[in-house]
A and B are shown apart, each in its own frame.
Chain A
């Protein structure tokens, strides 16, 4: 390319800086897509690639301590084994019990606490911070702390229950398959309810006071106001927080790992813990990945149906 100057001489086009090239590009319709590239690369690298790789692993033989078996493609072998595996079905059942009970318990307790803290009373701000404390505790710390509190020899809970006459002797909560899940759920609900309390409290603060005043003028009592004003206004937050919490409960076996290790006799074994044990104790990455894929699909289906159901109700 060349340009002609004012005297009619032909001169080469001056070399443009890279900044100039970018400036030109920014004027085009593709500029927005270029701006998305860094974020896209990051997402591909840290989200999509590991997910796809993990799914691919579930179709391959991958036992880290049996590399002699190779790492070839085995098709649906792990999924077939999974269908015939009674521990998988037990874990699935336990996962549903664990997730539903913990989520409902945390939601109800969180809602009650949020409603309480929404009142403008002296000292409630301090109480709000204190109530959030369990959520700040890492799962590992909370698990060990409760393991000690529920200990059949040294635990303060047994001591209190015996003193008030509810128990005649100390109970080994985590050694009894009829009680182990319930005791672990108590710990999980205690640990997780501030999550709901925090989000719901934020939602309650955002509800316009006019709505309550209008309802009161129409003769609505506290329960009616709660049903027709508070709950509908909180619905979006409830839906979002339940989805987030269910995902977290299904995926994080740490509290159960610390309190029971899935026992006694697998009575508290959940799918995420089973997958963890398959990978980290048996080094069977293929089977562990198949379990993880099943969890992934179940969570996708749940999230889709739940959000859709919530929208249908709204309509």
Chain B
């Protein structure tokens, strides 16, 4: 069979129209896309398993996942909102919810979620992370619980008890630091992502951040907190000198390769640590208590709907993450806590001592600050101002002054 050029061009032009023919294969499957910022192999394996389970249960809904690196996630979401090219569904961490809702990046699904059969299974706190202005914008998919890893073998070697307060933490850091062995007490995250720990310490020293939408930092307490944290490098020298530029990768490598004795992160990094160290080499601890409070974040990472064009299919997908089967599959691959307390009663969690610190933290842990502008303020003001203290270019007091000024500007 031969075609002339006119027939060929006509055929090509008609091809897209074929999708509009009722009953054709194009029309049968609802396709939705899902933006996320998973990075590790284990996370991808977990995602693949959840997607496979979803496909088996909902064969008519095709999910396409798209990975956006976490540092660029908000840039990409911003661009998508501005260009009106939002994804159907997307992953959201609680501290970004305010900004995303404010820019119109998330769809209010309050009515749908309240009518959902599993709504009552969650504690009120679980919904706070996805609630902005009284409206719910997503369903918790899994939970990150902040905790601390420590070198059990080094602590035993030095006869040190695991620290419960930051005073004990400092004492342990000093004892375990041995420059001749290139050993340091703690992996301080002074680079990308380190800002949240500074904010946590400020709260642990008794200073609020924002009250009733107004800047509420207590200068004296915040200064003490910043000074304590920075002096780990500048005075006590119990952290690697690279601390002012160390991000996630650097602090984890330092701990895994035997350069540091303690590192603070969340339950999400457990599989990585387990792959690098033997069970007798490391343990987990709740974050130490400050002089005024014990601050550890329990972050519900939720899935929301950005573009409501395919609302039904999108709801099926974000609801599915809370089902026991995918939640346990995801836990098995990643070690991430299920968001539903009912699913979290699984004996693979409750009977595993390594999760003890996380289970304990869920009893006092709190959500990260969630005011609009928090992400920008913490990243572009708190972090660089703290770095300046770390590198000796300003005092803790000057840093707190700049943080207070920056916060007032962000809230104005």
Q: B191 contacts which chain A residues (CB < 8 A)?
A: 175, 261, 263-264
- Cα-based distance from A265 to B233 in the complex (angstroms): 15
B250 within 8 A of A: yes
Count: A-B pairs, CB below 8 Å: 110
Given contacts A175-B245, A267-B391, A281-B74, 5 further A-B contacts (CB under 8 A): A64-B99, A151-B250, A153-B250, A172-B240, A263-B383
A154-B253, A175-B241 known; A277 and B99 CB under 8 Å? no
24 contacts between A and B (CB under 8 A): A64-B78, A64-B103, A65-B99, A65-B376, A66-B102, A66-B372, A66-B373, A67-B104, A153-B259, A172-B240, A172-B241, A172-B245, A175-B190, A264-B191, A264-B387, A265-B387, A266-B387, A267-B393, A281-B376, A281-B379, A282-B376, A282-B377, A282-B410, A283-B78
Question: Are A65 and B103 interface neighbours, CB within 8 A?
Answer: yes
Q: A264 contacts which chain B residues (CB < 8 A)?
A: 190-191, 244-245, 384, 387-388, 390-391
By Cβ-Cβ distance, the 7 closest A-B pairs, closest first, are A172-B242, A265-B388, A282-B376, A264-B244, A65-B102, A64-B103, A175-B245
Q: B259 contacts which chain A residues (CB < 8 A)?
A: 153
B69 to chain A, nearest CB (A): 10
**What string of 1s and 0s marks CB contacts (under 8 Å) between A194-212 and chain B?**
0000000000000000000
- Cα-based distance from A265 to B384 in the complex (angstroms): 4
Q: Which residues of A from 129 to 167 have beta carbons under 8 Å from B? A: 151-154
> Which residue of B242, B380, B393 is within 8 Å of A152 (Cβ)?
B242
Which B residue's beta carbon lies closest to that of A86?
B402
Which A residue's beta carbon lies closest to that of B72?
A280
Scoring B104, B254, B377, B387 by chain A CB atoms within 10 A of each residue's CB, the highest score goes to: B387
A103 within 8 A of B: no
A192 within 8 A of B: no
Question: Are B373 and A65 interface neighbours, CB within 8 A?
Answer: yes
**What string of 1s and 0s marks CB contacts (under 8 Å) between B209-248 and chain A?**
0000000000000000000000000000000111111100
A172-B242, A180-B245, A282-B376 known; A262 and B384 CB under 8 Å? yes
**What string of 1s and 0s marks CB contacts (under 8 Å) between A264-290 and chain B?**
111101000000011111111000000
Report which A residues bind B (CB closer than 8 A): 64-67, 151-154, 172, 174-177, 180, 260-267, 269, 277-284
Report which B residues bind A (CB closer than 8 A): 74-75, 78, 81-82, 98-99, 102-104, 190-192, 240-246, 250, 253-254, 257, 259, 372-373, 375-377, 379-380, 383-385, 387-388, 390-391, 393-394, 410
A179 to chain B, nearest CB (A): 11
- Cα-based distance from A278 to B245 in the complex (angstroms): 20
Q: B383 contacts which chain A residues (CB < 8 A)?
A: 263
B394 to chain A, nearest CB (A): 8
Q: A284 contacts which chain B residues (CB < 8 A)?
A: 376
Question: Are A65 and B192 interface neighbours, CB within 8 A?
Answer: no
Q: A265 contacts which chain B residues (CB < 8 A)?
A: 244, 384-385, 387-388, 390-391, 393-394
Q: B253 contacts which chain A residues (CB < 8 A)?
A: 153-154
- Cα-based distance from A124 to B375 in the complex (angstroms): 52
Which B residue's beta carbon lies closest to that of A172?
B242
Which B residue's beta carbon lies closest to that of A176?
B391
- Cα-based distance from A180 to B387 in the complex (angstroms): 13
A194 to chain B, nearest CB (A): 27
Q: B390 contacts which chain A residues (CB < 8 A)?
A: 264-265
Q: B385 contacts which chain A residues (CB < 8 A)?
A: 265
Which A residue's beta carbon lies closest to that of B381?
A282
Question: Are B244 and A263 interface neighbours, CB within 8 A?
Answer: yes
Question: Are B391 and A65 interface neighbours, CB within 8 A?
Answer: no
Question: Are A266 and B384 interface neighbours, CB within 8 A?
Answer: yes
- Cα-based distance from A269 to B381 in the complex (angstroms): 13
A153-B253, A280-B78, A281-B375 known; A64 and B244 CB under 8 Å? no
A177-B393, A280-B78, A281-B375 known; A67 and B241 CB under 8 Å? no
- Cα-based distance from A154 to B250 in the complex (angstroms): 10
> Which residue of A64, A177, A277 is within 8 Å of B391 (Cβ)?
A177
Question: Are A64 and B242 interface neighbours, CB within 8 A?
Answer: no
A75 to chain B, nearest CB (A): 18
Question: Are A152 and B241 interface neighbours, CB within 8 A?
Answer: yes
> Which residue of A65, A151, A277 is within 8 Å of B98 (Cβ)?
A65
Q: B391 contacts which chain A residues (CB < 8 A)?
A: 175-177, 264-265, 267
A154 to chain B, nearest CB (A): 7
Which A residue's beta carbon lies closest to that of B399?
A265
- Cα-based distance from A83 to B390 in the complex (angstroms): 28
Question: Are B254 and A283 interface neighbours, CB within 8 A?
Answer: no
Q: A175 contacts which chain B residues (CB < 8 A)?
A: 190-191, 241-246, 391
B335 to chain A, nearest CB (A): 25
A66-B102, A67-B103, A177-B391 known; A280 and B242 CB under 8 Å? no
- Cα-based distance from A66 to B394 in the complex (angstroms): 31
Q: A64 contacts which chain B residues (CB < 8 A)?
A: 78, 81-82, 99, 102-103
Which B residue's beta carbon lies closest to that of A263?
B387
A64-B81, A153-B250, A265-B391 known; A282 and B241 CB under 8 Å? no
A159 to chain B, nearest CB (A): 13
Q: A262 contacts which chain B residues (CB < 8 A)?
A: 384
> Which residue of B242, B257, B380, B387 is within 8 Å of A282 (Cβ)?
B380
Question: Are B380 and A153 interface neighbours, CB within 8 A?
Answer: no
Q: A279 contacts which chain B residues (CB < 8 A)?
A: 78
A64-B103, A66-B102, A153-B250 known; A263 and B245 CB under 8 Å? yes
Q: A65 contacts which chain B residues (CB < 8 A)?
A: 98-99, 102-103, 372-373, 376
Which B residue's beta carbon lies closest to that of A257?
B71
Scoring A65, A172, A174, A283 by chain B CB atoms within 10 A of each residue's CB, the highest score goes to: A65
- Cα-based distance from A139 to B373 in the complex (angstroms): 30
Q: A172 contacts which chain B residues (CB < 8 A)?
A: 240-245
A183 to chain B, nearest CB (A): 10
A269 to chain B, nearest CB (A): 8
A131 to chain B, nearest CB (A): 30
- Cα-based distance from A260 to B387 in the complex (angstroms): 12
Q: A174 contacts which chain B residues (CB < 8 A)?
A: 242, 245
Question: Are B75 and A280 interface neighbours, CB within 8 A?
Answer: yes
- Cα-based distance from A66 to B375 in the complex (angstroms): 13
B84 to chain A, nearest CB (A): 13
Question: Are B102 and A67 interface neighbours, CB within 8 A?
Answer: yes
Which B residue's beta carbon lies closest to that of A265?
B388
